[in-house]
Amino acid sequence: MNGKRPRVARSLSYSEISTALTCPARWDFAYGDQLAGSSLRRKAIATILSDGRAWGAAVAAWHAYRDAENLDCVYDPQLARQAAHSALGWSYRQDIAEQAESGVYVAPEIEVAQTNRLHALLEHYMETSERLPNLTQLEGYFDVPLRSRNGGQASTKYRFEGRIDGFTVLESQGGEWIVEFKLRGQLTPRKQLDLDRQQLWYAWARQQLTGNPVVGVIMDERLNRVPDEARTLASGKPSEAVSELTTEASYVELCEELGEEPLPAKIEALRARRWQQRVEILFRPNQLEEASRELVAAGQVIHELDAGDKWPIRNAHKHICSGCRFSDVCPNPDDTLYIDTLYDRVPPKRERTRE
């Protein structure tokens, strides 16, 4: 023995790779240390992040609900709904506790408002969505080595890790399908879903982990909006606006209360409104092999940033900087007092994998 510690493979995630390809400076603030002297972790968790975590946990719990005491019993929809709401509340409590450890106080009324809105959103989703069959392995963690650069064997330098919401087997297609639940500001066009790399990379990892073929992904997206109650105008009549973000049931109920005849055009528009979508994407031949090559290339990009061979350029664009959790300190990463007020300093990612 030479007394040296064994080398630990550097872990990569979809979020890190996506960040590095989008804006190297953002990558450095989150995973490197050239700009601020360390990696930064914002003390306050963004609402959109808490919402997404809670949503994934809740919806997966609803789809995969089984009676732990009697797996052959008749499915009880009420118990399944309770399981979903419990998972949602637990996720939010975890985020509240994490922020408290960093000294961030979340007022009870803010927590209640956030959770109540998402509980209402969850109720509407469960009322209008079909449960997926045989969903298993909630939050299934994977950690697999990348291929080596020559493609002949597993890499000893880089691993790919992440969590899959679940997987299922569709009788019509055979093989495993990974399932992801997403809360969106807007539902994603099918073409963009076909181009998305996260699910393709996750499918490759799942297949590497189990040896079982993964034939596709089911993307279950929900619009991050609770339907409004149908609106009454100052005249005392129901609103005729077809753009109103309400449901057919709420509009018809209001018309009945006010003694008005529902407008056919509005009924048609409300029926056509999509609050959620479920898209099945069947992978084409050799697509997972392409995913393996992309991940090897991503490892090369991260290596250059880790080694300091590339300076983390600010890729400043409105659509990139808007909502970036480092936008407050990006112009002046030398302002240590301001940084330490908003962020916890953590080791760069390359050092977090060492024993």
Q: What is the C-alpha R_g of the chain?
A: 24
> Would you say residue 4 has pLDDT above 60?
no
Residue 126 and residue 87 in contact, taking contact as beta carbons nearer than 8 Å: no
Longest CA–CA span in the chain (Å) reads 87
Q: Is the pLDDT of residue 70 over 70?
A: no
pLDDT in tens, 213-243: 899 999 999 999 999 999 999 999 999 999 9
Token pair listed for 262: 């529902």
Q: What are φ and ψ of residue 283, in 5° steps?
A: -75, 140
pLDDT, tens digit (0-9, with 9 covering 90-100), for 32-48: 999 999 999 999 988 88
Q: How confident is the model at residue 250 (pLDDT cuts 50, 70, 90)?
A: very high
Q: How far apart are CA 192 and CA 185, in angstroms?
A: 15
pLDDT tens for residues 264-284?
Answer: 999 999 999 999 999 999 998
| 94-117 residue pLDDT tens | 999 999 988 888 888 988 999 999
Sketch the domain layout of the chain as residue ranges. Answer: 7-39+302-355, 43-131, 140-224+277-283
Pick from 232, 322, 344, 276: which is nearest to 125 by CA? 276
Name, in order, each residue with C-beta under 8 angstroms of 170's C-beta and a sequence gap of 6 or more.
133, 177, 280
Supply φ then ψ for residue 103, to 5 degrees: 85, 15
Helix (H, G, I), strand (E, B) or coil at 268: helix
Name which of 162, 141, 137 is nearest 295 in CA terms: 162
Predicted structure pTM score = 0.85
Contact between 44 and 50 under an 8 Å Cβ cutoff? The reply is no
